[in-house]
Amino acid sequence: MARIDDLKLTDPEVHENPYEFYALMRSECPVYKMPETGFYIVSKYQDVLAVLRDTKRFSNELVETRKEIRQEAKSPIDKMYHTDGWVPVDTLHHTDPPLHTRYRRPIERTFTASRVRDMTPYIDKVVGDLIDEFIDDGEIDFVTSFSVPLPCRVIADQFGIPWDDVPNLKKWSEAQMDAYGMQMTPEREQQVADELLEAQRYFVAAFEERMRNPGSDMLTDMVTTLPGETPMTMNELLDMMMQLLTGGNDTTTGALSEGLLMLIKHPDQLAELRKDPSLMKNFVEELLRMESPVQGLMRMTTEDVELSGTIIPKGSLVNVRYASANRDEDQFACPAQMDVKRKDVGPHLGFGAGSHFCPGAMLARQELVSAFTQLLDRIEHFELAVPLESLTHFPSLLHRRLTSLPIRFTPQR
């Protein structure tokens, strides 16, 4: 039987299936100092929840990490920001309340519960139109034909950006995700730098246009200040934009692909969903629990902290592992087992918790419900078109996304 020291999260085999590693952490060392990186991984549900709720001791303000970007400019990406682009500043992901509230407010104006409810017929139509495009093909790569374009088209409409630019949105989103993921080759790092500069220039022009001619989209919300609010600088707007771009499509892309793969691998659960469509919302929560698109995010300790018997020194980077917490045996019954009727799925941490709970959670949930409802209504049978073991994920320590999902299917008669 493997022990925790036998495995490394950066190994390709472990990266493809990290759940044994997570289970070993939870049982052997709930707060594990990762030798390859030096940061601490928090793996138990209650510990993860405690960290997410304690922004005073576990801060999102990754001071030393961001300082390198601003001052040292070691990497091609950092150099690009300094020589040709706009240097990132601390906004949504890198601030804590009360400053975080300032950046979150215009996003919350966009993703209110009532607004998402009103969007449901529109989301249903986007889903239906996408299925129309491939329903007669019989075999597709589900990632490129559905998982990518659905959230990209939705977020493009929210931004007020034409669908012709959707391929660029995806390219820039993947570049930002790779920059976050910390596993790039030198060649990819230079490519990412070029693509992020291209994205910055595009959004600078878009923001300047909204300042001159306000519309009814999210970019207008971001440049519009209400009484008592301070206008954001272009550096702040761009940093916010790249976070919204990745949060608004890449994570949903990952969930869509993993969700269909789960149903293919568990035909008994697919049959339950077909028999009782009222289980769809519960299935979506089970999907987000079992295959969390955001596997974990970083925090930094502001003082020495003891967690599960381990002292984490002040100034340490801490990886809060949502995906491990969501499979914690002390929180969820039979956590490695997919169950569309699961009663204890509600408290999962797929969207985080506390003040940094994902502001787009309601929109993502609706996209997933709309997508799988119509896919099951219109397609009678799904199967993999390649061996299961040939499927791979993009390299990232923070996110989980299938590179492709070739499937064969039979439309409903």
Higher pLDDT, 136 or 180: 136
pLDDT in tens, 43-77: 999 999 999 999 999 998 875 544 444 455 567 88
**Which of 98-102, 192-196, 240-244 is predicted with the least confidence, judged by mean pLDDT?**
98-102
**What distance in Å separates the CA atoms of residue 109 and residue 289, rounded to the nearest whole number?**
27
**What distance in Å separates the CA atoms of residue 145 and residue 405, rounded to the nearest whole number?**
10
Statement: residue 231 has pLDDT above 70: yes
pLDDT in tens, 115-163: 889 999 999 999 999 999 999 999 999 999 999 999 999 999 989 999 8
Lookup: tokens for 369: 């419900």
Report the share of the chain in percent with pLDDT over 90. 62
Can you tell me the mean pLDDT for 282-302? 95
Indicate the length of the chain as a whole number. Answer: 413
Higher pLDDT, 30 or 251: 30
Q: Cβ contacts of residue 64 below 8 Å, gap of 6+?
A: 300, 315
**What distance in Å separates the CA atoms of residue 143 and residue 145, rounded to the nearest whole number?**
6
Q: Is 411 exposed, middle or buried (0-12, 13-18, 19+ CB in 10 A)?
A: middle
Can you tell me the mean pLDDT for 320-326? 97
**What is the per-residue pLDDT for 56?**
93
**What distance in Å separates the CA atoms of residue 26 and residue 410, rounded to the nearest whole number?**
42
318 in helix, strand or coil?
strand
**Which of 112-121, 143-152, 241-250, 400-409 is predicted with the least confidence, judged by mean pLDDT?**
241-250
Nearest by Cα to 367 from 69, 147, 193, 201: 147
18: pLDDT confidence band, cut at 50, 70 and 90?
Answer: very high
**What distance in Å separates the CA atoms of residue 183 and residue 398, rounded to the nearest whole number?**
10
Domains of the chain, with CATH numbers? Answer: 4-411 (1.10.630.10)
Statement: residue 300 has pLDDT above 60: yes
Nearest by Cα to 354 from 156, 117, 104: 104
Q: Is 54 exposed, middle or buried (0-12, 13-18, 19+ CB in 10 A)?
A: middle
**What distance in Å separates the CA atoms of residue 372 and residue 260, rounded to the nearest whole number?**
8
Higher pLDDT, 260 or 83: 260
Q: Which amino acid is at 250?
A: D
pLDDT in tens, 328-383: 999 999 999 999 999 999 999 999 998 888 888 999 999 999 999 999 999 999 99
Q: Are 35 and 11 in contact (CB under 8 A)?
A: no
Q: How are beta strands 317-320 and 297-301 bridged, if at all?
A: antiparallel
**What is the per-residue pLDDT for 183?**
67
**What is the per-residue pLDDT for 66?**
47
Q: How far is CA 78 from CA 14, 66, 225, 310, 398, in A?
A: 29, 10, 30, 34, 20
pLDDT in tens, 307-317: 999 999 999 99
322 in helix, strand or coil?
helix
Quick one: DSSP state of residue 216? S
In our burial notation (b when 16+ CB lie closer than 10 A, e otherwise), range 307-326 reads beeeebeeebbbbbbbbbbb
Nearest by Cα to 333 from 346, 344, 322, 324: 344
Q: Are 63 and 302 in contact (CB under 8 A)?
A: no
Nearest by Cα to 91 from 202, 220, 233, 228: 233
Can you tell me the mean pLDDT for 234-242? 90
**What is the per-residue pLDDT for 408?**
98
**Which of 77-91, 233-247, 302-316 is predicted with the least confidence, judged by mean pLDDT?**
77-91
pTM for this predicted structure: 0.90
Q: Report DSSP letters for 1-49, one per residue.
A: ---GGG--TTSHHHHHSTHHHHHHHHHH-SEEE-TTT--EEE-SHHHHH
Q: Report DSSP letters for 238-292, one per residue.
A: HHHHHHHHIIIIIHHHHHHHHHHHHHHH-HHHHHHHHH-GGGHHHHHHHHHHHT-
Nearest by Cα to 146 from 160, 159, 163, 133: 133
**What distance in Å separates the CA atoms of residue 56 and residue 115, rounded to the nearest whole number?**
32
**What is the per-residue pLDDT for 72?**
53
Q: Cβ contacts of residue 296 below 8 Å, gap of 6+?
A: 41, 319, 320, 321, 322, 323, 324, 397, 398
Mean predicted lDDT score pLDDT of the chain: 90
**What is the per-residue pLDDT for 285?**
98
Nearest by Cα to 15 from 383, 388, 309, 397: 397
